[in-house]
Amino acid sequence: ISDTNEIIEKVLIDEESLNLRIKKLASYINEHYKDEDTLIMVAILKGSVMFMAELAKYIKVDTNLEFMAVSSYESGTESSGNVKILKDLDTDITDKNVLIVEDIIDTGHTLLKLKNNLQKRDPKDIKIITLLDKPERREVEIKPDWYGFKIPNEFVVGFGLDYDQRLRNLPYIGVLKREVYEK
């Protein structure tokens, strides 16, 4: 097992920048929902675990933390609008404000399908916050209501994001060395 630092090309967003930006994002959320009586934050496993945990620390309005697991590649259904739910919400979102918490929007397929799925449950409102946005890679039209950083099309890992299930634990967002995923 190798030292993780050896397979990182460079640090794209360091720990301090992440923390500062996440506090700022939390202030937008606090302001937006201050007069609402519900807020259900829904993190999508596993990538958004770190972001959810850090963001939630600074949320001042009353909120529920919920988690969902979905499968992004159910063969043949890429454009059907269906998403395979591996772990569903534990709570009813009817008439509630829902905030989907994602680590990254890449092609957009995951979020588009998930949003359609949640919409059918008649929530009061659904908004999306993502830590990272890679707009160059988008294949379907979906935009976050809030984002942390727009990033170029590079293979990023850390702070929840994985390469083959590894490196989620890095405290920063790093770019993976090319030779790691090309060999």
Residue with tokens 């829904």: 42
- Binding segment for ligand PRP (CB under 6 A), chosen from 76-84, 85-93, 99-107, 150-158, is 99-107
Of 26, 41, 105, 173, the one binding ligand PRP (CB under 6 A) is: 105
Q: Quick check: 47 binds Mn ion (CB under 5 A)?
A: yes
C-beta of 7 vs 61, nearer to ligand PRP: 7
**CB under 8 A, 24+ apart: contacts of 149-157:** 149/13, 149/21, 149/173, 151/12, 151/13, 154/12, 155/181, 156/12, 156/104, 156/132, 157/8
Identify the active-site residue in 88, 90, 106, 145: 106
Q: Quick check: 107 binds ligand PRP (CB under 6 A)?
A: yes
CB of 60 to ligand PRP, least distance (A): 26
Residue 125 annotated among the catalytic residues of the structure: no
CA nearest neighbour of 101 among 131, 142, 69: 131
CB of 157 to ligand PRP, least distance (A): 10
- Binding segment for ligand PRP (CB under 6 A), chosen from 33-41, 51-59, 106-114, 147-155, is 106-114
Cα distances (Å, whole numbers) of residue 64 to 4, 30, 171: 34, 14, 25
Known catalytic residues? Answer: 106
